[in-house]
Amino acid sequence: MFFRKKKPVKEAARGGAGGDGGFDAELLHDLSSHFAIGEQILLRPEYIRELEVKSIVVGMLVNQRVIYANEDLSWDEASRTMLFHSRDDVASISRVETFALLLPLENSDDRKMSYQRKEELSRVGLFKRGNTITAMSAGGGHSSYTIDGLVTGYMRLRQGLFVNHEVAVLDFDADSFKVSERRKYQRLLTAVPATVRALKGERVFDALLVDFVEDAGRFLIDDPAASAVLLEGKPVGVSVEMSELDRRYRLEGAVRKVEGNQVVVRFRNIFKEGAFTPFTTLDGIEIKAMLQKLPQSRPA
């Protein structure tokens, strides 16, 4: 019901609140990254502040357009706008008037709750229209992203991976978007030769590992062609060379963030004894200990 066939346009139509409200596309880029479709989030109902309920983002509403997949939105660095991709056109979004997350009406935490908590939640209803809920990104990393939302209605998804699921519409106030540090690891700044490549591509990019924590690394890549290949969420392979120490680490992971000519990779696998195995905290500690021995490395 939200899509109509139309010719390509330069600017996506604005919907919802009028006046001077809304926010710019850069904040939408942050929101869509940290509350991505398919990602788990934590919900804190206003009426039971100490309770946290897990949920999964199954869609978004941006300027009254339904976003069914993360690929429907992309960031255009040149114009610093978000691009909305539909079947008929590609529209730019420079200003966001409305933003909402679409969340399944069911939650998976019932079995973990005490009887008293279940009764309390059942009595007030998590997604009762008019309820205020704080959402917090739960995808790991070193910062906690929170935003306050209001349950404004319900709908059934008509397309996408989660088609026919009934969802609650959690409408958000951009002014409540907060970023707070929850850093559990000390960053180590360095400058170590490395390579980064997309796992489903043959192109290998020379890079420098410039920032490392136990589960992720930031890589500086000067080749401008990398921006078209190493996209957020893309599976990648990484090789880190420590020739001074006669060490080489081969890792696999996914691009967590792209910032100019730098990409942040979250590690998932490490090559050991002839095969890739799941990356562990102990692996991260070992790499960090090796990096610490290099003269160019220092704590952030």
Q: Give residues with Cβ within 8 angstroms of 172, minimum separation 6.
A: 31, 99, 100, 101, 135, 147, 148, 149, 150
Query: Which string of DSSP letters, residue by residue, matches 206-228?
Result: EEEEEEEETTEEEEE---GGGGG
Q: Band of the pLDDT at 12, cuts 50, 70, 90?
A: very low
- Name the architecture of domain 188-299: Beta Barrel (2.40)
Helix, strand, coil abundance in the chain, percent, nearest 5: 15, 45, 35
Residues of the chain with CATH 2.30.110.10: 23-181
Residues of the chain with CATH 2.40.10.220: 188-299
pLDDT single digits (tens) 187-196: 899 999 999 9
**Does residue 299 have a pLDDT over 60?**
yes
CATH topology of domain 23-181: Pnp Oxidase; Chain A (2.30.110)
**Does residue 88 have a pLDDT over 80?**
no
Q: Band of the pLDDT at 11, cuts 50, 70, 90?
A: very low
The identity of residue 281, as a single letter, is T
pLDDT single digits (tens) 60-73: 999 888 998 888 88
**Does residue 216 have a pLDDT over 60?**
yes
**Does residue 287 have a pLDDT over 90?**
yes
Please compute the mean of the pLDDT values over residues 206-212 and round it to a whole number: 95
Please compute the mean of the pLDDT values over residues 108-117 and round it to a whole number: 49
Question: What gap in Å lies between CA 252 and CA 268, rounded to an integer?
Answer: 6
Express as a percent the part of the chain with pLDDT over 70. 79
pLDDT single digits (tens) 224-237: 999 888 888 889 99
